[in-house]
Chain A
Amino acid sequence: MSITYLDAIREAQAHALRDDPRVFIYGQDVGAFGGAFKATKNLQKEFPGRVFDSPISEDAMIGLAVGAAIEGLRPIVEMQFADFSSVAFNQIVNQAATLFWRTQVPCPITVRLPFGGTSGGGPFHSQTPETIYAHYPGLIVLTPATVEDAYSMLLEAVAIDDPVIFCEHKFLYRHLKAEKLPTEALPIGKARIAREGRDLTVVAYSAMVQDAKEAATELAAEGWEIEVVDLRSVKPLDTDTIIASVARTGKLLAVGEAWPWGGVTAEVISRVTSEGFGLLDAPPQRLNAKDTPVPYHPNLWAAHRPTVRSIAAAARKILRH
């Protein structure tokens, strides 16, 4: 049997619904239809009264989830696309993120964001807004890069007492496969060494982990050993694992699919330079998407975001330093 990243997300939700009567699912078309990406396929049938279609009201969807969380429930909200979470921004950052800090009442909601670029998606179905949510105190932002993590981190997201922004990459949905679901996992907030190496640390998350690993394979043919760190969670950010890796390699490239201004890659570089400056043999570099909206046409789209080729090229530049 092979399980896709998407199956893992569906299974984690089934597991959560089965194990915890406080869990319910709310989102557009998530009921009988099973969601725009089929991440909730058959769940309404298997769990009657636990999976609800919402109106197209992102702000009110999160508002409702916060209210239910106050009442002790653990809602999972599916945004149809991460891009539409902008409509719910106020409820996420001002309501959900501040609730516990203001009142000591926890807000255990999980907001699932199908995010990231796919060819032909265009400016409003491709965004990667993890940075903007990570900026707000009170939110946890998860970015699984593997089938196993998609499953175990979603389960953990539901169990966490804080609001979790769960960024699931649309490209990985059907492209990533695993043999079985995991029985154990690293804790949230721990990064993972996705590939070991001693010449350069490439820090990546979500779909960029796969691209970074492919770039590492390409560079291995040239004799370079690249270490790939999969952040898994961008908030909290596991600085220790990154710094330990840089201590081994002396060189750092941070890769993200998001826009270049600020963001996760900037945060990684900033932490390494301030906490591990002496470990660096070369100026650390970042590679991001270009500073325009995500283009529709595949020619432009492929040039807009980091690719295996551009990651390998950026790595070569640092390696030759």
Chain B
Amino acid sequence: MLQTVSESRAVGETQRAAYRCMLRARLLDDKFAALYRAGKIHGGVFLGRGQEALSAAIGVHLNKSDVFAPLIRDAAGRLAFGEPIIDAVRTYLGSALGPMRGRDGNVHRGRPQAGYLPMISHLGAMVSVVNGVLFARRLKGISGIVGVACLGEGATSTGAFHEALNQAAVEKLPLVLVIANNQFAYSTPTNRQFACADLADRAAGYGVESHSVDATEFSVCIEKLGAAIARARAGHGPQLVVATLLRLCGHGEHDDAGYIAPEMKNSPLGRDCLKVAEEFLLKKNLADAAQFAVWRSEAIREIEDAVAQAQREPAPDPYEEKWSALASEKLNELREEH
């Protein structure tokens, strides 16, 4: 495809923006891992190492008015969608001032009012919720938006996945369902998860379009996610994106991932998308070593500041806590305690 000069400059900007989110996400993940090892984090820590290109490529193609339901490995996409680093840090450190106020933690964060849906743990469960937001917006006469739901390949085995993809297809919703096939669901390899040769083949069965992405390849991620999101935005119905990559970390920081064979880590699947992206930007003259160094030090400062700030902030106070799960003030007054 021929591109005009201004188009290619815009693509270059997208790539630079995506890279910066990847870098910030990687450094943020590294910080969370360090805090975890230091015993500063309650509960688990889940990283997206190796998945930043895919995740960022989603975020940079979304607008503020779109809908995004990221999952545990989407720090990069969250940042690209506009999540401030402080939201992530506050949630991991349990600050009372974070978006979840210490009630929920780590990757379970979001701002539903802003189209940024906070995941529950139950895999597959967020997809139909994205459908619902898209459906409601259509009823309200809003068009030109898309919703992205992220899943791992393991989550494609849930009933919720099937029901939601079919539902989106029937309603022809502008849903982009991104499956990061990182070869493992916790320790379970893909041959214990599904028996089809390629998850993208399933798209035909639902009557939706599909896109296959080598997610270790930065420029491919940007291009293919851009295309899939544009197709959905233009009214072509749900898009199934099947991205192939490898999780370059444990399932969580408690897990050494000893079940991943060294041959797989050393194969092209195990390439680090962040390095690939750097090489790409260098080759295309979109950034140089000095620029990388500036971005890195800016990101580190931003993260360190956020951590220092969140660590000074109050933890949730059980005596101040309003122990109610009800929104209705009237009903709250009737509440009984046991």
Contacts and interface: CB of A to CB of B under 8 A. Distances in A.
B201 interface: no
Interface string B220-262: 0000000000000000000000000000000000000001000
Interface string B31-52: 0000000000111100000000
A59 interface: yes
Interface in A88-115: none
Interface stretch (B54-62, B81-89, B99-107, B128-136): B99-107
Contact of B186 (A33, A119, A265, A286): A33
Interface in A38-92: 53-60, 80-81, 83-84, 86-87
A119 B123 CA distance: 22
A56 B321 contact: no
Contact of B103 (A56, A291, A296): A296
A55 B186 contact: no
A292 B108 CA distance: 17
Q: Is the interface of A mostly helix, strand, loop or mixed?
A: loop
B102 A296 contact: yes
A122 B92 CA distance: 12
25 contacts: A55-B154, A55-B194, A56-B124, A56-B185, A56-B188, A83-B122, A119-B43, A120-B44, A120-B105, A123-B104, A124-B108, A124-B121, A125-B43, A291-B324, A291-B325, A291-B337, A295-B102, A296-B42, A296-B100, A296-B103, A297-B105, A299-B316, A299-B317, A300-B103, A300-B321
Interface residues of B, number: 44
Interface string A272-311: 0000000000000011101111011111101110000000
Contacts of B316: 295, 297, 299-300
Interface of B: 41-44, 94, 100, 102-106, 108, 120-124, 154-155, 157-160, 185-188, 192-194, 259, 315-319, 321, 323-325, 335-338
A260 B158 contact: no
A186 interface: no
Interface residues of A, number: 45
A121 interface: yes
Given A57-B158, A291-B335, A298-B94, 7 more contacts: A56-B124, A86-B122, A124-B121, A296-B104, A296-B106, A296-B108, A297-B315
Q: Considering the complex of A and B, which 3 residue pairs feature the smallest CB-CB distances, nearest first?
A: A120-B43, A303-B318, A297-B102
Contacts of B323: 290-292, 304
B321 to A, nearest CB: 6
A233 interface: no
A30 to B, nearest CB: 9
Nearest to B152: A56
B321 A303 contact: yes
A55 B100 contact: no
Contact of B105 (A36, A59, A122): A122
B40 to A, nearest CB: 12
A29 B104 contact: no
Contacts of B102: 295-297, 299-300
Contact of A56 (B42, B106, B154): B154
